[in-house]
Structure formats: C-alpha cells, structure tokens
Structure 1
Amino acid sequence: MGTRLRAVNKDKTNKGIGGKGPGKLTDKVIQETTKFYGLAIRRHPDSLEDMKKEVWATYYHKCSSDKNPQHHFCPEGKDSSCKWRKAEAKNELDQFHHDKPHLIPQVQVAIKPVFEDLSKDELLIRCLGSETQNNNESLNSLEVMSVMGCPIGREALMYVEKRDEKRISRSERRVSDVVKQASIDSRAEQSA
C-alpha cells in the first residue's frame, strides 16, 4: 500500500495532490493508510468479505467530511474504532465534527485505483488464514514444493513455520505506533 501510494504521489500527472496541507497525500496520510490496510488484513484472517470491507472502510473514512460523511463500511456501535459510528450509536451526530480534514477530491480520485487493486479477491484470498501473500516467505511455498514433486519433510515444515513466526513478529513491530513515531521524529531531526 505504502509503495503504491508514494508512486501515486510522485506521478507527474497527479499534480497538486502531494505536499503539505489539509487533505493532501502527505507522508503521514500514507503511513496511516498503510497501517490500517495491514490491520484490515490481520484482523480478519478468516473472512475475505470482512477483510475487503475494512480495506474500503479505510478509504471512505479518509474521504469523509462533516458535509459528506462516508462511514458505511466502518464498524457500527458504541465500541467502534470510528468516532462517527460511536457518535451515531450514542445519538450524538448533531454534535459530531470530524477532527481531521478529509482527502481533497483529486487525492480521492488518484488513490481509488490503488484501493481497487489491493482489495481484489485474488490478492486478499492469499492472505486468509493469517498467511502472507508472498510465496517466498510462507507456508504457501510448501504447496509449490509439493507441486514440483519435492517431498516435504519435518525439517522443511519446521523451517517455514519458524520463518513465518519471525516474519509476523517483524511485521507487528514495524506497525507499532511507537516505532512509527520514532521513525517520523528521526526523519524530522535529519531534515532540520
């Protein structure tokens, strides 16, 4: 997600969507969107539809404004992670105001194809069962070995399970807010 959004930002045909300012495709917006895309996949390891719904919830949540609330994919109820949905559950929508600016229309149009590509069934189905979509680093590679006629022994199984555990642990560390904030602070110091 992050790589694709940064590519959209650098694309010369998408003038005026990047840089600084409210509603622009800033580094912070890209990082947040990438984080929530990853969470959508990890939170729904057993449901393709729920995974897809949460991916689109991220897009529409970022596009939502007081004049045009777009929280139809956000989880409902007072325990929702979406503040608008919480206000709705408490019957307080008349007092609710979005605390962050929505993405400007040019950004919405520019990033929608990225969400369309990264929410395709063919991609997300490979993430079901909490497995990676990268065949080189997962239990999925055992299927490749099997198709090639290679016997899968105990050692191979133990190796890929251990490698998967390390990959998941590394991924969870990278997503943590503390690490992300430290990285942002470090970049800010270097550019100052």
Structure 2
Amino acid sequence: LRNIKKQTKGLGGKGKLTGKLIDELSIYYGLAIRRNHDSIEKMRNEIYATLDHKLSTDDKPKHDKCPRGENSWCSWQKAQATGNSNYKHKPPLSQEVFKAISPIYEQLSTDELLTRCLGGYTQNSNESFNATVWFMAPKSTSSGKHVLDTAVYISVGIFNDGLSSVMRLMQNLSITIGPNCFNFCVETDERRIKFSERSLTDAAKVARSSLKTSRKEAEQANIDIHGQMYGAGIAD
C-alpha cells in the first residue's frame, strides 16, 4: 500500500491514502487472517468485510459481511445489536483509493496465499530476529558486508540465548568480563523475559501498534530525504 501511494500521484493526502489509513487496513487484514485461520473462505470474507466497512456511508451501509452482535468489531453492527439509532458513519474510503487498492486486495486474498495462512502460523519469530539485526545495522544507514555479517552472527546468539551469548563471545576473544558486564547481561535478560510476558496484554498491544506507526512514519521521512537504501530488487 505504501508503494502504490508513492507510485501513484495524488493518491496521498487528507481524505485519501494516508499513513494512518494504511496502518488501519494492514491491521484489519492481519486480524482477518488470525481470527479465521481455520478457513480460507472465512479469511477472504472478513478481508473484504473490512474493505466494505471502510466504504460504508449512512446512505449506503455495506456491513453484510461484518460479524453481527454486540461484541462485533464492526461499530455499525454493534450499534444495530444495541439499538443505537444515532450511529453515524465516518467519512468513507474515497473511490479513487478503492480503485487503486482493489488489485492489491485481490492478490492478497488468492487461494494460494491464504492456504499458506491456514493454521495461524506467523512470521513473528523471523521478524523479531530481523529487528535484532537491523537494530545493530539500521536499514537507513549503509553498512558493508563485514558489518552486516557481524550483526547477523551476534543477533543469532542474542535471539536464541540472550546477552549471555555476548559474554561467551567476549570469552572467545579473550576479553575480561567484569562484574558490571555480567550483572548487566543477566539483568537485561531477566527484563526481556518480563517484558515478553507483559507484552501479551491488550494495553501493550495498543501501545506497540502506536509505536510501530510512529516508527514507520520516521522511516518514510528518512527515505524521502535520503532515498531507499534497502529493499527487494533495489540492486537490480
């Protein structure tokens, strides 16, 4: 979605394909997959339900595919279930944006792709490992092969065993490990475990989503200034 926004002149801006809208659509798509990972048809139905939801107006509500009941994620269906007759729709997705993103939704709802989502398997582990690598060798900074290789080697250890792996690396390099270093590694690993447990709460998920949005905006601003330094096919 961000690529099509960048490639299509006039698609961005107020009331169109904003960064916030892109994040919302991405979150809705992910939820549609995770909530219905036992059925391709259910996944596809809810994917398009989220799109129709965004296209709905007071005159033309399009919530037939949205789940019904008071506990529905669809605010219109929830209002219907609770008897709220004062419900008003937010400004809908513009037709210009809808036409631009429709082909993407078609690609993301094919049987071939959704079949791979059956069972609810995710890439979270890989994404977490990648985040560890990019923390040491950021995408926005040009890094040579040796720097990237070193970042990957260290990240593998940290990802699997925490900072205790760094102490083993220091031992192999004959670097003396003092009490401050030892305590720091142990305490950091303990905090990481506690943070992982706390991150499963709903409040943490909301905060994480907000932080992710801010980080994406900062990365996009950096790319706009310096250009893309990392990406599929960038060296072609």
TM over 0.5: yes
Segments of 4+ in structure 1 off by > 4 A?
Answer: 185-191
- 2:33 and 2:117 in contact (8 A); partners too: yes
Partner of 1:128: 118
SS at match of 2:119: helix
Q: 1:115 aligns with which of 93, 101, 105?
A: 105
Following the alignment from structure 2 to structure 1, what is the Cα–Cα distance between the partners of residues 44 and 216?
32
Instruction: Output the aligned Cα RMSD.
Output: 2.9
**What is the alpha-carbon distance in structure 1 between the residues aligned to residue 22 and residue 87 of structure 2?**
25
Contact 1:45 1:130 in 2 (8 A): yes
CA contact (8 A) 2:23 2:213 kept: no
Q: Which residue of 2 aligns with 1:10?
A: 6
- 1:45 Cα offset (Å): 1.7
Correspondence for 1:43 among 16, 27, 35? 35
Identity among equivalent positions (%) equals: 44
**Gap regions ≥5 residues in structure 1:** 138-162, 164-168
Q: Deviations over 1:24-67 (max 9, x none)?
A: 10000001111111111111121111111111111111111112
**What is the TM-score normalised by the length of structure 2?**
0.55
- Per-residue deviation at 1:90? 2.9
Change (3 A) 1:8 1:189: closer
- Normalising by the residue count of structure 1, what TM-score does the alignment of the two structures yield? 0.66
2: CA distance, partners of 1:108 / 1:189: 26
The CA deviation at 1:17 is 2.0
Q: SS where residue 73 of structure 2 aligns?
A: coil
Shift of 1:186: 5.7
| Gap runs ≥5 in structure 2 | 127-159, 161-195, 222-236
Alignment of 1:168-179 (within 5 A): 176-179=205-208
Q: Report if the CA contact (8 A) 2:57-2:92 is conserved.
A: yes
Q: Is the 8 A contact 1:126 1:132 kept in 2?
A: no
> SS of 1:31's equivalent?
helix
Structure of larger gyration radius: 2
Tell me the amino acid that sits aligned with residue 16 of structure 1: G
**1:65 corresponds to which residue?**
57
Larger RCO (alpha carbons 8 Å, 6+ apart): 1
